[in-house]
Amino acid sequence: MPLTQKLTLAQFLIEERQRHSDAADDFDNLILNIAVACKQISRAIAFGALAGVHGTDGVVNVQGEQQQKLDAISNNVFLSINERAGNLAGMVSEEMEALYQIPEQYPRGKYLLSFDPIDGSTNIDVNVSVGSIFSILRAPEGVVDAVTENDFLQPGSKQVAGGYAIYGPSTMLVLTVGNGVNGFTLDPDSGDFILTHPQLRIPAKTQEFAINASNSRFWEPPIKRYIAECLEGEAGPRGKNFNMRWVASMVAEAHRIVMRGGVFMYPRDGRDPSRAGRLRLLYEANPIAFIMEQAGGYASTGTQPILSVQPSAVHQRIALIFGSKEEVDRLESYHTGQSPSSLPDPLFRERSLFRESA
């Protein structure tokens, strides 16, 4: 049924700015430019094989992964739309080893953008939902010319916005600017993102978990304990039956959890002791953690809140557990030996960009 009042993303940002007069136009424009990039990527995905976006391009990216054609296409879309708008001092992408400097012919702004242009791109060929993830930080004072890696090495608690677009049966943009989480659906007729899911909240309890069970032989004892208890069902210590999900697209997993609850685990394991995890901190874990906490959930490494982690490199990997707060608290307690009730609250309870100078 059509909504009686259609609030576009642009109108939503204007209303937020009117309520908080210290917010800035350039921040709104940055969010809208990201939305434009997501629209273009959505269109390319919708054409699929007709547009030649399936398959690999023969390149191995900085992560050591085979780059899909859509990875490169989407990365270029993000760069070309955001480099010239005057809102950014620099960018970091999963698909590029080096920082992206704003070309000299374009003005520089006061924000930093980190993004994964296509999360789950190996699912494109089988028509499974994929997405784009992004994080926005303020650039340190005094950044005029080239940004440095150190400029981006800010903990997730410093984010001023985080979000993702999911390209599924419909395209949605899920966004937080520190004042809750809102979902916008792309209207294919008007080309606008329309507010359809205001103030999303994640149920504190769940009976659904997502993990790649093929890695079970490498899991650490706390994860093995948690999964074993879930699998025991009603007869076990949890006293209820659990369902397992695994899409191999973190955006799809995160979206399901935002919409109906659950817990996602990509924990540290024993395959490579030198790696703290598989997922990237700056442009995957941090924005998803920001969304989770703003929606009443929680995100942890297993031993500490994701948003408290001090990054050491722009492509740093990390263990990631997120979703319904009671389950993440339980998992954290298994790792730390503390009872869930004694664990600290998530970093974000009420925080908004619009309560600070943008």
* Residue 214: partners with Cβ closer than 8 Å, 6 or more residues away: none
Q: Is 194 annotated as a binding residue?
A: no
How many CB atoms within 10 Å of residue 46? 13
Return the axis-axis angle of helices 221-232 and 325-336, rounded to nearest 10°: 130
Q: Is 212 annotated as a binding residue?
A: yes
Q: Is 356 annotated as a binding residue?
A: no
Q: Is 179 annotated as a binding residue?
A: no
List Cβ<8 Å contacts ≥24 apart for 118-123.
118/41, 118/68, 118/70, 118/71, 118/74, 119/164, 119/249, 119/250, 119/251, 119/284, 120/247, 120/248, 120/249, 120/250, 120/251, 120/252, 121/68, 121/70, 121/71, 122/68, 122/248, 123/247, 123/248, 123/249
Q: Is 118 annotated as a binding residue?
A: yes
Backbone φ/ψ region at 97: left (φ over 0), alpha (ψ -120 to 50), beta: alpha
Residue in the structure block whose two tokens are 């993702």: 164
Q: Quote the tokens at residue 230.
A: 């879930």
Q: Is 243 annotated as a binding residue?
A: no
- Length of the chain in residues, anyone? 358
Residues marked as binding for substrate? Answer: 212
Residues marked as binding? Answer: 94, 116, 118-119, 212, 284
Residues marked as binding for Mg(2+)? Answer: 94, 116, 118-119, 284
